[in-house]
Amino acid sequence: MATMTPELSVVIPMFNEQDVLPLLVERLRPTLESIGATYEVVAVDDGSKDQTPVLLQRFKREWPQLRVIRLRANAGHQAAISAGLAAARGQWMVTIDADLQDPPEVIADMVKAGREGADVVYGVRTDRTTDTAFKRQTARAFYLLMRRLSGIDAPPDAGDFRLMSRATVEAVNALPEHNRVLRLVVPTLGFPSATVGYRREERAAGESKYPLSKMLKLTLDSITGFSQAPLRLATWFGLVGFVVAAVMLAYALGMKLFGGQVLQGWTSIVAIVAAFAALQLLCLGILGEYIGRIFVAQQDRPSYYVAYDSLNDNS
Rounded distance, CA 30 to CA 27, Å? Answer: 6
Q: Give one DSSP letter per residue of 121-160, joined into a string.
A: EEEEEEE-TTS-HHHHHHHHHHHHHHHHHH---PPTTEEE
* Residue among 49, 44, 14 nearest 310 (CA): 44
Fold of domain 8-208+302-314: Spore Coat Polysaccharide Biosynthesis Protein SpsA; Chain A (3.90.550)
Number of neighbours of residue 143 by Cβ within 10 angstroms: 18
- Put simply, whether the predicted model's pTM sits higher than 0.85 gets the answer no
Contact status, residue 44 vs residue 10, Cβ threshold 8 Å: no
* Residue among 285, 162, 180 nearest 222 (CA): 180
Residue 39 DSSP SS3: strand
- For every one of its 315 residues, what pLDDT tens digit does the chain have, with 9 covering 90 and above? 445 789 999 999 999 999 999 999 999 999 999 998 999 999 999 999 999 999 999 999 999 999 999 999 998 888 999 999 999 999 999 999 999 999 999 999 999 999 999 999 999 988 877 767 777 777 677 667 666 666 667 777 788 899 999 999 999 998 877 677 888 888 888 899 999 999 888 877 767 666 666 666 666 666 666 566 666 666 667 667 666 666 666 666 666 666 655 556 555 665 677 667 767 767 777 777 777 667 666 656 678 889 999 998 865
Task: Report the DSSP pairing between strands 8-14 and 39-45.
Answer: parallel
- The per-residue b/e assignment along 248-282, b for 16 or more CB within 10 angstroms, e otherwise, is eeeeeeeeeeeeeeeeeeeeeeeeeeeeeeeeeee
